[in-house]
Amino acid sequence: MLAWRQSAIVNWSMTERSSCYICQARTVDEIRQALTAARGRGLSVIAHGAGHSYTDAALNNGGLLLDLSAMRRVLAWDPARGIMRVEPGVSIGEVARVALADRWWPPVTPSTASATVGGCVAMNVNGKNAWTHGSFGEHVLSLTVLLVDGQLLTVSPTQDGELFRALVGSAGLLGIITSITLQLRRVPSDRVEVSVRPGRSLRELFQIFEDEQAADYLEAWVDGFAAGRELGRGIVTVSNHSERVTSAGPLAFRLPEQSMHRLAHWGGILCRPLVESGVRGANSIIYRGSRWPARTGPRQTPLVRATYYAPALFTGYRVLLPAGSETFQAFVPATEAGSLFAEILRRSQEHGYVPLWCIIKRHRRDPFLLSYQVDGFSLEVNYRLIPERAQGLHQLLRGLMELVIVAGGRFYLAKDSLLTHSLYRRSIGDAAVAAFLDLKLHYDPDLLLQSNLYRRVFQPSLQQHAER
Ligand SMILES: Cc1cc2nc3c(=O)[nH]c(=O)nc-3n(C[C@H](O)[C@H](O)[C@H](O)COP(=O)(O)OP(=O)(O)OC[C@H]3O[C@@H](n4cnc5c(N)ncnc54)[C@H](O)[C@@H]3O)c2cc1C
């Protein structure tokens, strides 16, 4: 008998609190039982991985949240071919750990090691190599998915390809993913050579992306406070897999994990009264420091450390920003990216909402139905949420969304909490939304699978779709 509890759960950005039932499933049969029980009680259901989406994708007010984090077995690992089959609750960090011991690595990974593989498929995550390796779903060989009628299906790019391409990136709204088979990537060692290249403006950052397009990974940090001629100044981190390990043992002194968390906690408390001025000062120091030739590298760094944020940073973030943060990520065609990103930074500054941290990545199109990737770049901006100023911030971001749509851009369901159904349809296109809703009505006719995100972004479109 599955245990249910009633609880309140918060999204990762701490911007939304959801009161729901929670039940943890350990097997496919338990997922089936949970679906049947929820149906009996008239409740909707949504799968929950590690809850690392910034949005309401894994929240379900008044419904059931199906926690799959206990389904965390690696079911099969073939180190000769780099093929791994996992349960959906296995974290991407665990995939990386097992694979790296045999010199393999996830070809696409987000920068949080805690995200589950089920969550990575359901949101079709991207990494710092998205312009060469695409999105997560492009490396999935097959999935098993439990449909709401109790059927267990195996889908792949060639078997039920249409459903496969719709499931990847469908935010848990078509079925529950119960296992995933991944093709991993061979790597020469567990290290990368990391160099940093400062750029005095957005134009220089884009030029560095162009010059370094043969790199394995690229990501730019942008100083949201820099204005005028230095608008968009930042640092591009360029990483390449190391052919051989040149320095043995740990590369830098690190405090034990518990001390790091304690330090981050107290650092967060001390810095809380000075968030804006502190970040402005730190940005300036980081940027100027990166211009010293001695600091530009390359330096050999463990691949794990170069890829994933240290968990202690999350502790610091939560203490520093107790009301949470609002994130906005615009995916924009290459030709429009320079002017649009400058406009996003400029308007944010003019309205008095300076983003605390901003990231640029390069992307390419992918074949999935609800794809958010474009041949171009994304800018992720993160703002401190101050409840009494939230309305103004939301107004600013909705205005920016209009600009992104006019530029032919798209949005990411894992990061944009303010996207409405009409903005979403205009960005991704009516045809994609209509095709998705047809599949939703076919595979989930009673709309058992729902989340707050579903009700925000899809439900109004479904009502219009059904009336036609
Ligand atoms: C610090 C940080 C850094 C990040 N960096 C990146 C990044 O670099 N690139 C990027 O693309 N994203 C990034 N993200 C976003 C994150 O990787 C995605 O939101 C990912 O989906 C989180 O996985 P999760 O297991 O926490 O899923 P959850 O947040 O728990 O769920 C996400 C969605 O997946 C669905 N889902 C989960 N499991 C299943 C399942 N078994 N079957 C069906 N549906 C399921 C849920 O219903 C929900 O709709 C980052 C997030 C954080 C917090």
What separation in Å is there between the alpha carbon of 322 and the centre of ligand 1?
21
Indicate whether 379 belongs to any domain: no
pLDDT recorded at residue 248? 57
Helix (H) or strand (E) holding 262: helix 257-271
pLDDT recorded at residue 251? 52
Nearest CA residue ID for atom 34, ligand 1: 119
Q: Are residues 312 and 215 in the same domain?
A: yes
Query: Which of the listed residues 272, 291, 322 is the one where a domain comes to its end?
Result: 322
What's the domain range around 51? 4-67
pLDDT recorded at residue 253? 61
Strands 64-67 and 17-24: parallel
Indicate whether 346 belongs to any domain: no
The CATH number of the domain holding residue 126 is 3.30.465.10
Cβ pair 311, 261 in contact under 8 A: yes
Indicate whether 343 belongs to any domain: no
pLDDT recorded at residue 252? 56
Q: Are residues 103 and 147 in the same domain?
A: yes
Query: Which of the listed residues 146, 166, 186 is the one where a domain comes to its end?
Result: 186
Mean pLDDT by 10 residues, the chain (468 residues): 91 94 98 97 98 98 98 98 98 98 98 98 98 98 98 98 98 98 98 96 98 98 97 98 76 75 89 91 93 80 96 89 96 98 98 97 98 98 96 97 98 97 97 97 98 97 82
Query: Which of the listed residues 138, 169, 186 is the one where a domain comes to its end?
Result: 186
Indicate whether 312 belongs to any domain: yes
Nearest CA residue ID for atom 27, ligand 1: 119
- The preferred substitution site among 10, 71, 116 for testing ligand 1, maximizing ligand atoms within 8 Å of CB, is 116
Question: In terms of DSSP H, where are the helices of 66-201?
Answer: 92-100, 117-123, 130-133, 161-167
pLDDT recorded at residue 247? 66
For residues 352-365, b (16+ Cβ closer than 10 Å) or e, as one string? ebbbbbbbbbbbbe
Indicate whether 382 belongs to any domain: no
pLDDT recorded at residue 465? 82
pLDDT recorded at residue 108? 98
Indicate whether 96 belongs to any domain: yes
What total of structural domains would you count in the chain? 4
- DSSP state string for 275-291: HHHHHHHHHHHHHHHHT
Q: Which atom of ligand 1 is nearest to the CA of 116?
A: 25
What separation in Å is there between the alpha carbon of 117 and the centre of ligand 1?
8
Around ligand 1, the residues with Cβ closer than 6 Å are 12, 46-53, 57-58, 68, 88, 110-112, 115-116, 118-120, 122-123, 125-127, 171-172, 176-177, 309, 414, 451
